[in-house]
Structure 1
Amino acid sequence: MGSGFLLKKWLGSLLLPLPLLLIISVIGLVLLLKQHKRSGASLMLFALISLSLLSTRPVANALIGPLEAQYAPYLVDTANHSVEVQDIIVLGAAQVADLSLPLLSQLGNAGLARISEGIQLSLTYPDARLIVSGYAGGEGRSSAELYSAVAQSFGIAKSRIIELPEPKDTAQEAAAIAPLIEGRQALLVTSASHMPRAMGLFIGRGANPIAAPVGHLAKESRTKLPLYTYLPKAHYLERSETAWHEYLGLAWQKLNNSAERPAPSTQLRNAD
């Protein structure tokens, strides 16, 4: 595994809300111990209030909602069936390849939602290939292999499945899959919050799949919720963290695109 990839993962992990705010609170504590009471107390209070707000449903939904709203769900009942779907792509997600667990229990929530949608779409479009990706990440079995095993257990023929266990992140997935779907009609299945970044990377590779987002998290009940549902909860913090991760990924993607874009002077010289 490349050092650049590991550095990106470490940096991205440290910039997520919980570790970042814990680091800020530790700095605040150090300042308090060094008699910088006002600065130390302010940092610790900021970390506590931020952590509390990010753990509430309204704030978590406000963060993740705009990401999930960018691409509408692909509803089979209203889809244009005159368009032949030739490929169904399911992007990788975190997994724990523990053979002592049932097959579906080895997938995380995101992976379970993605492959479930992939299987449903495969049953709807029986002639389409199912392209599954994702590396092992230190586990004994990759996301791609787990997805394939789950799909086969639900009756999808192995001959229809293309496994790509090498890509380590979405950028590598787009690079590996784009040539496979060139000139073909493909559906891209990934988490709704992840879809904007994934589509951007595929389009950057010259591919233009149809988005089929799943695993929507910013779901609001139509009934009036009791006040206790607005209290901070760990799963709302996880939702905020998911959104934060995607915003960091989009910022990194934008930074890379800017770095790769030729300077205007270079473009003029090439035109001459």
Structure 2
Amino acid sequence: MLQSKIDYQHCAADINRTIILAGGTVKPALANDWSALGDTSIRRVVFLASQLEQLNTSSVIVSGGAGVGVKEATLMADLLARLYPRGKLDIILDANAKNTQASARFVRSQMLDESGYYLVTSDWHMARAQAIFAHHGIKVCPVASEESYVPYGFPGWFIPQKSALAKFELAWHEFGGLLFLWWAKL
């Protein structure tokens, strides 16, 4: 679990906007049916709500077009507004983006100036997401919503774990995406 107090001073001082990428849905959704959000989407929203004051952000772009019925960006934005009721937070919906490329195109179309954005996504997806946003000329400061590092130790070295297969699949998905970006010269 990430610490509650994170130092964001490595980012440019002019950043006051945030992009949060959706992490999927698990079932068709009706309005305010947060149970339709996948675990990753929920963890990202809860993490962002816990960090908003420290980020000193004035607006959040919630990006995610997956889902049948209500889109995941709509559900995530509703959950964020309920978790962070303090003051007015400008939430911009991108409920049509089916992937990170589409999210970056949407953000680029919304940009008023060249200042950067905090980018909230998982540690697995961060490298590829940063490369995609950079390709579209968008400066981002990485803010990983979760950390999936598991330390090695005895007896875990010798006991097969089903979580290792899931992590292997995630790693190859992101590595394959990076290879595709390199091959397509994006």
**TM-score, scaled relative to structure 2:** 0.82
- The RMSD of aligned alpha carbons is 2.9
Contact 1:97 1:141 survives alignment (8 Å): no
Match of 1:85 in 2: 15
Considering fraction of residues, name the structure with more strand.
2
1:237 counterpart (159, 165, 172): 165
Shift of the alpha carbon at 1:116?
1.9
Once superposed, which parts of structure 1, at least 4 consecutive aligned residues long, lie more than 6 Å away?
A: none
Amino acid of the structure 1 residue aligned with 2:181: Q
Contact 1:144 1:165 survives alignment (8 Å): yes
Match of 2:97 in 1: 167
Matches within 5 A, 1:47-62: none
Match of 2:145 in 1: 214
1:191 aligns with 2:119: no
1:201 aligns with 2:132: yes
Contact 2:24 2:37 survives alignment (8 Å): yes
Question: Separation in 2 of the partners of 1:74 and 1:253?
Answer: 32
Match of 1:136 in 2: 66
Aligned identity (percent) is 23
Amino acid of the structure 2 residue aligned with 1:233: Q
Cα distance change of structure 1 residues 123 and 183 upon mapping to structure 2, 3 Å threshold = same
1:249 aligns with 2:177: yes
Cα distance change of structure 1 residues 76 and 128 upon mapping to structure 2, 3 Å threshold = farther
Contact 1:190 1:212 survives alignment (8 Å): yes
Cα distance change of structure 1 residues 120 and 174 upon mapping to structure 2, 3 Å threshold = same
Shift of the alpha carbon at 1:174?
0.9
Question: Separation in 2 of the partners of 1:253 and 1:183?
Answer: 23
Contact 1:88 1:131 survives alignment (8 Å): yes
Question: Separation in 2 of the partners of 1:185 and 1:95?
Answer: 28
Question: Separation in 2 of the partners of 1:116 and 1:254?
Answer: 33
Cα distance change of structure 1 residues 99 and 82 upon mapping to structure 2, 3 Å threshold = closer
Deviations 1:107-153 (A, max 9, x none): 2222122212221232334552011001124x222221111011011
Shift of the alpha carbon at 1:177?
0.9
Q: Which of the two has higher C-alpha Rg?
A: 1
Question: Separation in 1 of the partners of 2:65 and 2:164?
Answer: 28
